[in-house]
Amino acid sequence: MPESPLFPADILQDNGALVHHNLNGSFSDSRYIKNKRDVRELQGEVVIAHEHRHYIDYHLTNYGSWLSRFWDQFKQGVPDLLVRGGRIPVPVTYFDDDTIVRALGLDRPDLTTPAGMAVRIASNHALRVERDYLISESWARAFNGPSQMEALATVFEVGPAEHFARGPLVANALMTMPRDQATWQRQYTWFGDVLAALGIRDVIKIGEDHQAVSTRIWGPFLLAAMMGKFSRLFAKELNAEPKLFGEIMPAGRLHAILNYAHQKRVRDLDDPDLAWDIVNDACLDLYGESVLESLSADIEFWEKRLMHGLQDIESLNPFMLGLIAHLETRKSVAARFAENPSSLYDPIEYWDKSQVGAHVLPEFMLASSAGFESIPDGYIQTSSMFYSSPDGDRANFIKPRVASAQHRELQAADEEATAISRFLISGARSRTWVGPERDRVRAWLQSRVDIRVIGPFG
């Protein structure tokens, strides 16, 4: 493949091959960083490793699956929400705020309609995410679900990079990533400090001394924390059992599992397999089932719930098909996890032996606010209406070329529905906007419906 800047100069430089290489599940073994070009290539691998691990965890963990289901369920009600008429607040969760409803003269959608169900799903989801965050805020560090997802992705970003790319510039490569280091430490690598405070030896130290990164025991703890019984995350059960929420959501589970390890006087823990045994003992004692048992039960519950009443799969909308595809991918990931758990909780084995990435590949899109100087072989500019660029402008979004016309149509429909949904849920505050697509979504909505963006969400 000819050299081409997959990431523009304001982000990273790469020739495109590393994207596929990394998504297929392996870092470049025995790499020694010798110059700036190698530093950029390692940084490219780190970026993709982080995002690919997110994709795995959205299918592997019960918490990640809960997040994925939310978006596909919400998207099913968006068409009805847009055509029903009347003013729409952004975020749509303000439909449940009596003060905002009166002030803006809103007409709440009927809860029996797809629009009403979408609003209710969004409101319930937001309340539970906020409650998980508030629980975490009562401790020294943020233990909520998003923080745990980021910490887990960091394990599989930093650990393998240091392991496979030993050399004096490794620490520099990781520390010169285009990110705010204080924010990165606070949001991504806090778990090492937590373990150190409990007397468990596992702390990230990347800097002038180039100390080796030791993160191999993070995976078992974080995976166990995100395997709550989401089949019980319903208002009736939560109201009946006040402690249930903390047993399901990541913040409460991680706190309980860490306390268990601390009470067992776990110290100097550097063996991921031993960590796996410890967290399973904790889950059996605290919740009555192992990590794998929690995963299997969650898949079984949601499969029965999803498939109940389905008659003709060909008549389903793309978002119901997305739910089914998510379930099938979960079953594939779970089977590999059951066969070889360490391939998904130990970052070194994950990249060195399991090749799990070759079997679980996301339909990814690469984005740049500055625009790509050129498009690598095998990639095309994204053509869906919010992600395409005017003729003559640099492409802000590219993705791998897909041969099937039907597949391309489904991709475009999902890309557009996802962008609209993201704006309706989070407005401009979503951290995943690159830039131009946010403004295009806003303009498209304003030209078709009466939306009112509330305060800081604009």
> Phi and psi (nearest 5°) for 396?
-90, -20
Tokens found for residue 125: 């989801």
Ramachandran region of residue 193, left (φ > 0), alpha (ψ -120 to 50) or beta? alpha
My answer on whether 297 and 371 are in the same domain is: no
Final residue before a domain boundary, out of 362, 378, 412: 362
My answer on whether 339 and 384 are in the same domain is: no
**Using alpha carbons only, what angle is made at residue 79 by residues 77 and 83, rounded to the nearest 5 degrees?**
120
Which residues lie across from 399 on neighbouring strands?
380
My answer on whether 356 and 377 are in the same domain is: no
Residue 301 lies in a domain: yes
114 Cβ contact partners less than 8 Å away, ≥ 6 residues apart: 76, 77, 79, 80, 81
My answer on whether 190 and 247 are in the same domain is: yes
**Rg value, the chain, Cα:** 22
My answer on whether 282 and 396 are in the same domain is: no
Alpha-helical (H) ranges within 230-271 are 235-240, 244-248, 250-263
My answer on whether 239 and 322 are in the same domain is: yes
My answer on whether 20 and 134 are in the same domain is: yes
CA dist 112 and 260 (Å) reads: 44
My answer on whether 213 and 288 are in the same domain is: yes
> Phi and psi (nearest 5°) for 175?
-80, -15
Domain that holds residue 413: 364-458
CA dist 220 and 71 (Å) reads: 27
Q: In this structure, are residues 417 and 78 in contact, taking their beta carbons and an 8 Å threshold?
A: yes
Q: DSSP for 199-230?
A: T-------STT-PPP--TTHHHHHHHHT---G
Final residue before a domain boundary, out of 307, 342, 362: 362
Tell me which H or E stretch contains 379.
strand 379-381
Distances in Å between the Cα of 59 and the Cα atoms of 75, 136, 223, 327 are 19, 24, 12, 8
Q: In this structure, are residues 451 and 425 in contact, taking their beta carbons and an 8 Å threshold?
A: no
Does residue 392 sit in helix, strand or coil?
coil
My answer on whether 299 and 246 are in the same domain is: yes
Residue 90 lies in a domain: no
My answer on whether 28 and 50 are in the same domain is: yes
Angle formed by the axes of helices 291-307 and 318-339, to 10°? 150
Tokens 């609209």 identify what position?
420
Task: Provide the pLDDT for residue 36.
Answer: 58
Q: In this structure, are residues 134 and 144 in contact, taking their beta carbons and an 8 Å threshold?
A: no
CA dist 261 and 339 (Å) reads: 26
Distances in Å between the Cα of 436 and the Cα atoms of 10, 366, 371, 387, 458 are 16, 14, 10, 8, 14
Residue 92 lies in a domain: no
Residue 389 lies in a domain: yes
Tokens found for residue 273: 């397999």
Is the pTM here over 0.75, yes or no? Answer: yes
Residue 105 lies in a domain: no
CA dist 264 and 282 (Å) reads: 10
CA dist 248 and 253 (Å) reads: 7
Does residue 171 sit in helix, strand or coil?
helix
Final residue before a domain boundary, out of 318, 342, 362: 362
My answer on whether 400 and 256 are in the same domain is: no
My answer on whether 235 and 342 are in the same domain is: yes
Residue 342 lies in a domain: yes
Residue 159 lies in a domain: yes
Per-residue pLDDT of the chain (458 residues; tens, 9 = 90+): 222 222 233 223 333 444 444 444 444 444 445 555 566 666 767 777 788 888 889 999 999 999 999 998 999 899 999 998 889 999 999 998 888 889 888 899 998 999 999 999 999 999 898 888 887 776 655 588 988 998 898 888 776 666 665 555 566 666 666 666 667 666 777 777 777 667 665 555 554 444 445 678 889 999 999 999 999 998 889 889 989 998 999 989 998 998 888 887 777 677 889 999 999 999 999 999 999 999 999 999 999 988 775 655 555 666 677 788 888 889 989 998 999 999 899 887 877 654 555 556 666 777 777 777 777 777 888 888 888 887 778 888 888 787 777 777 777 888 888 899 999 999 988 878 877 889 999 999 999 999 999 877 76
End-to-end CA distance of the chain: 42
How many structural domains is the chain composed of?
2
Residue 442 lies in a domain: yes
